[in-house]
Amino acid sequence: MARELRSFLVAALVVTAFLASFAAARAAVERPNQLDRRVDSISASALLTQPAIALVDPARQRAASRLAHLTLPGWLATALFEAIALAYFWSTGRAAAFRDWLRRRITSEFAVRFLFGAMLGLIARAAALPPAFYLYRVERIMGLSAELTRTWALLWIAHTLLAMVVAGLLAALVLWLVDRTHQWYVFTILIILAVSVAWSFASPYFQVPGSRAIEPLSSPLGAQMESLFARAGLPNFPVYVERSRNSPVDRAVVVGLGASRRLVLTDTLISGNTPPEVLFLASGATGAVVLGNPIYIALIEGGIVIVFSALAVVIADRIGFRRDDDPLSRLALVGSLLAIVYLVAVPVRNASLRSYDLDADRYAVRLTGDRVAAVRALVREADQHIEEVCPEMSSTFFVYAHPSPGARIAAINHVPSGCP
């Protein structure tokens, strides 16, 4: 079994190396660039009266359509590869054999369950390696990622180790609860909701690129930001700039809790946008926290995880037990079904969360009183991030977790989006 697992991992690496040979990555685009100058030249009248489709760069929109068409197959392949690998692991009896191998060597049942769950996490991550690398290369070629391949590989290894730990703890903890109480599902639900809320506060730390320096925002933009947050009832709200050389990533992110809460802007955001746009984007990021969006989003995401996990368990119960099955070995089957129901859960999640971005936009417009800057910032984001203003239905379901720039600009200006 160990030999077969090694063969599987080698095959995944070979396919990944093959995908890497398709094209050379483009260097990160410096800001401000030609696209920025084009957006700067759009008149205030056009920004307030024209639909988004008439404001964005046509060439970038064609690129955005290609990007969505390239991304969707990779995204679907990720879930399908994971489902197939885990289903194979269970259906061939290798899950039961690995369980027995662990029990012959380890006396602690908790440790056995943890290691079995960690193996499921490793199998799922290894199976998804080729499409994951494909998606990385797509972003790299389109200029949306500045990560070198070796950096991406190191991060993939780190994320794989984290996935193994999480899967191991989840398997061990849930089965431990099953052994001790008939109400194990109640405690599992509470754990999922708690983890969702915790992640909602931790995830902003991963939304800004790695950097070598972070420093307070200097004047005069710093003074404008201070005045803006004073009007919002947030005096002495610290604002920092994160230096991220040669990175195309531009972000405004609120990180921390309580007294440690602060707004972090990437230097790419400041260099590429006008000061009024920076104020709008900063207001939107802060408004999401003021409105309590992270908590609501965490509860919705946790609820979706609970509902679709229960669906996967119900489907698994309808599949007959093998002769060598037990609840531990069948976790591989449940994991496979989770990957399948994930394809249905994501469109539900995306549709449920889009209104929160629109709420943050409305908050930012009220706070800044500058619709021109708001629309200009969204047009600039659509061009720089290669986002579709009028995405196809499949992209809306699976690729985009946020409302399209066309919908956001239409909501701000109260004009039709111009989308077919």
Name the token pair of 138: 């797509």
Phi, psi (rounded to 5 degrees) for 262: -155, 160
Q: How confident is the model at residue 28 (pLDDT cuts 50, 70, 90)?
A: very low
Residue 11 has pLDDT above 80, yes or no: no
C-beta of residue 373 within 8 angstroms of C-beta of residue 14: no
The pTM score is 0.84
Buried-state track 125-154, b at ≥16 Cβ within 10 A, e below 16: bbbbbbbbbbbbbbbbbbbbbbbeeeebee
Q: What is the pLDDT of residue 207?
A: 65
Q: How confident is the model at residue 22 (pLDDT cuts 50, 70, 90)?
A: very low
Instruction: Spell out the residues 6+ positions from residue 52 whose beta carbon is closer than 8 angstroms to its own.
Output: 378, 379, 382, 389, 405, 406, 409, 410, 417, 418
Q: How confident is the model at residue 14 (pLDDT cuts 50, 70, 90)?
A: very low
Q: For 90-130, how does the pLDDT look when each residue is reduced to its tens digit (9 = 90+)?
A: 999 999 999 999 999 999 999 999 999 999 999 999 999 99
Q: For 41-51, how does the pLDDT look when each residue is reduced to its tens digit (9 = 90+)?
A: 999 999 999 99
Give the CA distances from residue 9 to residues 16, 97, 161, 352, in Å, rounded to whole numbers and listed in that order: 11, 19, 15, 37
More confident residue, 373 or 146: 373
